[in-house]
Amino acid sequence: RDLSAHVAYQAGRGIEEVARELGFDPDDLVKLASNENPFGPSPAAVDAIRNGAGNASSYPKASHTDLTARLAERWNVEPAQIWLANGGDGALDYLSRAMLEPGDEVLVPTPGFAYYGMSARYHHGEVSEYSLSKDDGFELTADAVLSAYDNERIVYLTSPHNPSGGMFSLDAVETIADETDERTLVVVDEAYGEYADAPSAIELLDDRDDVAVLRTFSKAFGLAGVRLGYAVVPDDWADAYARVNTPFAASELACRGGLAALTDDEHVEKSVETARWAREYIYENLDAPTWESHGNFVLAEVGNASEVTEAVQERGVILRDCTSFGLPECVRITCGTEDETKRAVRELNEVLSS
The residue among 353, 312, 260 whose CA lies nearest residue 32 is 312
**DSSP helix, strand, coil percent of the chain (3-state; round to 5):** 45, 15, 40
Q: Closest CB to ligand PMP among 118 and 224?
A: 224
Site string for ligand PMP, 300-339 (x = CB under 6 A): ----------------------------------------
What is the four-CA torsion angle of 9, 14, 17, 18, rounded to 10 degrees? 100
- Of 55-63, 81-89, 177-185, 306-314, the segment contacting ligand PMP by CB under 6 A is 81-89
Give yes or no for a contact between 132 and 139, defined as CB atoms under 8 angstroms apart.
yes
In whole angstroms, the minimum distance from the beta carbon of 108 to ligand PMP comes to 11
Query: How would you class 49 by CB atoms within 10 Å of its CB: exposed for 0-12, middle for 13-18, buried for 19 or more?
Result: buried
Q: Identify which of residues 216 and 309 has a Cβ nearer to ligand PMP in the complex.
A: 216
Q: How many CB atoms lie within 10 A of CB 316?
A: 18
Residues within window 189-248 making contact with ligand PMP, judged by CB under 6 A = 189, 191, 216, 218, 224, 229
**Least Cβ distance, residue 224 to ligand PMP (angstroms):** 5
Binding mask 28-67 for ligand PMP (x = CB under 6 A): ----------------------------------------
The sign of the CA dihedral 215, 217, 218, 221 is positive
User: Which residue, 71 or 351, is less far from ligand PMP as judged by CB?
Assistant: 71
163: cis peptide before it, omega within 30°?
Answer: yes
Question: Would you count residue 113 as binding ligand PMP (CB under 6 A)?
Answer: yes
Nearest approach, Cβ of residue 155 and ligand PMP (Å): 15
Q: How far apart are CA 105 and CA 98, in angstroms?
A: 13
Hey, what amino acid is at 63?
S
Helix H or strand E segment including 93? helix 87-99
Task: Tell me if 138 contacts ligand PMP by CB under 6 A.
Answer: no
Q: Among 38, 60, 87, 111, which residue sits at the site for ligand PMP (rule: CB under 6 A)?
A: 87
Residue 195: closest CA among 74, 36, 69: 36
At 327, is the secondary structure helix, strand, or coil? Answer: coil
What is the closest distance, in whole angstroms, from the C-beta atom of residue 90 to ligand PMP in the complex? 7
Of 29, 31, 75, 89, the one binding ligand PMP by CB under 6 A: 89
CB of 75 to ligand PMP, least distance (A): 17
Interaction site with ligand PMP (CB under 6 A): 87-89, 113, 158, 162, 189, 191, 216, 218, 224, 229
